[in-house]
Each structure stands twice: as C-alpha cells, then as structure tokens.
Amino acid sequence: MFNTHGFILSLPLFSPNSTLANVACREVQRPLAKIEVQAGGRLTIAGLITSIILSGFLFATGTQFLTIPSNGLELSTGSSTVHKNSINPASMSANKSGLFMDVSHGSWLADSKISSLLMLFPGDNAHFGLNLKYVEIDDLELRGVTPTDEPIAAYGANGFALGAVGSWDMLGMKIGAALRWVRIDLYTENSNGFSVDIGLIKQLNSKIKLGAAILNMGKMSILKSEKPKLPIRALASASYMLSTREFSNEFTLGGEFSTLVNGMILHTSNETNWHNLTLRQSSKLSREVVEISVGAGFRFGIYNLNYGILIGSQGLGIPQMLDLTIYFP
C-alpha cells in the first residue's frame, strides 16, 4: 500500500521479506514521483499507469509472469529439475506415435489466476509444438486517504505469452529452443515483445543427468517512456537416480542466476515414484527468500495428473496448480 499525493494505491504485494519486495520498494519511488494530481484531487490515469508499470512490483502482471511455474509438475519440482520440466525447451518430447498435450490451471500470489497449454507433435529425431501462458489479476484498487466503502477506481491486468517450441536429438544430447510473443496489459496501456529460450539435456549414464537453460532473452516495446525489462534467467542442474524393482528416487541440485534477484539461487528437489504414484518436494533458497513446494502425480493409462502447492506464502494467497497430461496413441 502506497500513499501518493493524498491517495492510497492498494495492491496485493509480496512478502515484506522477499527479494522481489525489496526490489519493488526501491523501484517504486522513482515512478511514483511522476504521478500528477488534477484539479479536485483526482489522480490521473497516465500517472497511475506509469507508476504501476515502471515499478514492476506486480509479480502476476508485469513481464515477471514469465517466471511463474506453468503447471503442477513445475511448481512441485521447482526450477531445479531443468532436465525434465517445461521450463527447459530441450525437455519437450512427445510419444513417437502420437500427440502430447498438457493443460494446466491454478492460482499464484495475490490471487492471480494462471492457465497454460502445451501441445507437442512427434518427429523422427525432433519434437515441435505450441505453448501459451495467460496470467491475470482483477482486484487492483485505488483509494483515497479518507476511508470509503468503494474505491476510486478498480481495474485488472494480465500477461500473455504464445510461442513455438522445438527439441532435437543431436551431438549425444537433447537441444531445445523456444520463441514467444509476449504481451502485458495494465488498464488501458500495453506492451508487446518477444522472448527466446534455449536449453540442453545430457544423460551422462543411467543414474546421472545434467540440464541447463537460458530463459527470457528478448525485448519489449516502449510503454509510456520506458521499456519493460524481461526477467532473464540462467539455470543449471544435476540429478542422481536410484531405482529398484518397486520404486525409484531422483534427487536434483540446481543453481540459478536471475536479473530479478541479487546473488545466486539454490534449488533442490526430490521425486519418488512407486508404481503409478509420484511424490515430489522442492526448495528454493537465496539470500533473502526460502520457498518450499510439495506435490504429487498419478498416472492412469494415457493420462497423467499432477498437483503442486507452494507452502508458506505468508498470507498472500495459496499458490497451487493442477495439470492434466494426455499421451495420445
């Protein structure tokens, strides 16, 4: 909540202890200084939009929506499993004989809603597909300093990404790339651009697998007087698999550098499979943020159901996602 020339801008923010919240507090000071007040004490829409967009503190609606997990598997395993979830374009693969489709829906911080769709088509030594991601939040309010029953204004915001993805088997590894059109809308303003992801996966032996990816390289169009910045991420991970006749267990350790966070982010995850049931747990640790996610998956025939939930969101909602994967014959 920010006081701007006698008005209160009431928004669902991050945890006060989170790195993104600290970044937001630093960045919001300069944009807020640009807000103008018209005669009669009304906040101009131009000033309001400039403040919101340039501050970048809405995790669900700025370009940062690209960093939100796209499905239950990705949420429950975290960014450590660069070698297997959809965060890495090299991990995209379909059955040799049929279409692969994943449909997901869930909620994130501040009650933002997330939906995604991934479709992959098989080839000889390659897989190609389409994916989309949509995030929206619709309860932003502008209020005066004097308490009132109704806000001065209410509006929504959203982020949308649509693109093509491909992966190839070459040089003894899997190599992938994705190209996306990205759009963010805040009230009456919008910005468009593109992002590029690249990644690779290397199976060293039957137990050890490596993965790496660079995400969200690209640019956005000018919105008001500045360009929104894409959240570039560089990730790498290594996993170790133990298996018996009844079950298997995979532990993964990963690291990440991001333009959103100062310093390195450490990711860990553990996944246990027993027959058709999978249990997952992951953690994310940085200098100022600790997150823990858990989830489960169940496979029945050509269907695979995955659920993930983020624990400890400190009253900012319950981030959780459910996705259904279909392996068409």
pLDDT (tens digit, 9 = 90+) per residue, 187-237?
778 999 999 999 999 999 999 999 999 999 999 998 877 888 999 999 999
Contacts of 8 (CB under 8 A, 6+ apart): 1, 2, 142, 143, 144, 145
For all residues of the chain together, what is the average pLDDT? 79
Q: Exposure string (b/e) for 35-54, b if CB count within 10 Å is 16 or more?
A: beeeeeeebeeebbbbbbbb
Residue 15 domain flag: no
Please state, in angstroms and as integers, the Cα–Cα distance from residue 294 to each residue in 113, 255, 268, 276, 283, following that order: 19, 19, 12, 17, 9
Residue 17 domain flag: no
Residue 58 domain flag: no
Note the pLDDT of residue 268: 93
Nearest to 178 by CA among 211, 131, 125: 131
Residue 111 CA, chain-centre distance (Å), reads 14
Mean pLDDT of 23-31: 34
Amino acid residing at 213? A
* Residue-number span of the structural domain to which 165 is assigned: 63-327
38 or 279: which carries more pLDDT confidence? Answer: 279
**Beta strand 7-10 with 277-285: parallel, antiparallel or unpaired?**
unpaired
Most confident of 20-34, 73-87, 216-230: 216-230
For 276-296, write each residue's pLDDT tens digit: 999 999 999 988 778 899 999
Residue 26 domain flag: no
Note the pLDDT of residue 137: 86
How many domains does the chain fold into? 1
Question: Residue 182: is its pLDDT beyond 90?
Answer: yes
Q: Around Cβ 226, how many Cβ atoms within 10 Å?
A: 13
Report residue 3's pLDDT band, with 50, 70 and 90 as the boundaries: very low
The residue with tokens 């501040």 is: 110
9 or 243: which carries more pLDDT confidence? Answer: 243
**Partners of 180 in beta bridges:** 163, 195
Report residue 10's pLDDT band, with 50, 70 and 90 as the boundaries: very low
Lowest mean pLDDT among 16-25, 159-168, 222-231: 16-25
CATH number at residue 74: 2.40.160.40
Residue 125 domain flag: yes
Lowest mean pLDDT among 159-163, 222-226, 325-329: 222-226
**Are 83 and 71 spatial neighbours (Cβ–Cβ below 8 Å)?**
no
Contacts of 315 (CB under 8 A, 6+ apart): none
Note the pLDDT of residue 241: 95
The residue with tokens 């991420």 is: 233
Residue 95 domain flag: yes
Question: Residue 186: is its pLDDT beyond 70?
Answer: yes
Note the pLDDT of residue 248: 94
Residue 39 domain flag: no
Q: How many CA atoms lie within 13 A of 39 on its CB side?
A: 0
Residue 42 domain flag: no
Question: Residue 55: is its pLDDT beyond 70?
Answer: no
Residue 84 CA, chain-centre distance (Å), reads 16
Report residue 247's pLDDT band, with 50, 70 and 90 as the boundaries: very high
